[in-house]
Chains A and B, each alone.
Chain A
Amino acid sequence: MQELAKIYGDTLLLDKKFNYCPGCGHGVVTRLVAEAIEELGIRQRTVSVVGIGCGGFSHHYMDIDAIEAMHGRSPAVAIGYKTASPDKIVYTYQGDGDCSAIGLAELLHGANRGLPVTCFMINNNLFGMTGGQMSPATLENQVTATTPKGRDVHVHGYPLRVPEMMADMVGAKYVAREAVCDAKSIRKAAKSVRNALQCQIQGLGFSFVEFIVPCPTGLKLSVPDAYKWSREKMVEYFKPQVFKNEVGQNNEN
């Protein structure tokens, strides 16, 4: 492990056994976040506020302090934290259910407030931990545990696009959607993670990145099929793009 730390740095806790299912997109995003923290040299002053869901595990794989908030409330907790400790770097790590179902009000008002905190929304388009129920991001006609005949948009509404709602908010300074479906998209996602945290370090304002990730378990697909599904179906509706970037120079997006 000591040897690995030389390569990967101190943030990732490499001896920690992953709780994520094999092939889960969380594994990729968690690693991207850890690498960005390491690279930016902010580990010791970074605190993660995690949501309820599989993403709640994310902090266990990093050597940082963490707060496991109530379902959906992480952005409000982060704002309270940042208000009292403005020198700390605070990011939330939430799923699409936590972020865009139960916690949408806290998220959007957090974005609009413009306090320099960062929210990462890991969108696997369903509730993974509780067994694959519909989330606001579930696609039209998609079958889940609670939409056995597919999501009927006349009953459950349409798949919710979150960063689009923030793009117009003055307080939000970095807003992006990335996908984690192949090597190329992962490289782009890594840049967005860095930009979002950089946005906070520079004290510019709120930053947000959504990640389109597969949940093979919830989708009941093999790992390759889950990635394919994400790449084809999800990305078609949730288009990866940088909506807003006021981080300034040195950004490669």
Chain B
Amino acid sequence: MRTKCTFSGSGGQGSALLAKLVCQGAIKQGLKVVMTQTYGIEQRGGDSTGYVIVSDNFIGNPLVENDADISVALSPSIYDGCVDGAVEGGIVLVNSSLITEMREREGVKQVPISASDMAVELGSVKCANIVMLGAALAATNMLEFETVEQVLRETLGAKKPALLEMNLNALERGRTVYASAAE
């Protein structure tokens, strides 16, 4: 099985971290994984997108070529790109806290999730990306939920117990909310 992901947001929203956590989870499960980033001169500021492919066999084509199975759109500026970059039958998770105007695209399922608001409730707007990660795991079966929990524990570790707690809650929140939002 092969899952192609697009994690997109504006500076500081943690889309790159989101991509990295998925990669670490994939490695933990012994899967093949490739991560590429948006090309261009700009190194800082503006939007950033992490493309990840998770697969159980060798990944020949490392590109996500407008065929993402799952996309996370964290901010309005990259929303169009996520919708257009989805494969037929793909899913786009939309951060409806910030993206207020959605447009239809036939064959692509868009799921609004107010990730930023939920993140604030959970303690910090910064964990909106983790809410989305929980939702993305629920929307696909690319990784075991527990694997990602484990990755979070290892990355945040004992050093930042409060932060870990919040992020684990965010992950869980994303998972549960996906089911109801996807109705």
Please tell me whether chains A and B touch each other in their complex, using a CB distance cut-off of 8 A: no
**Interface positions of B (Cβ within 8 A of A):** none
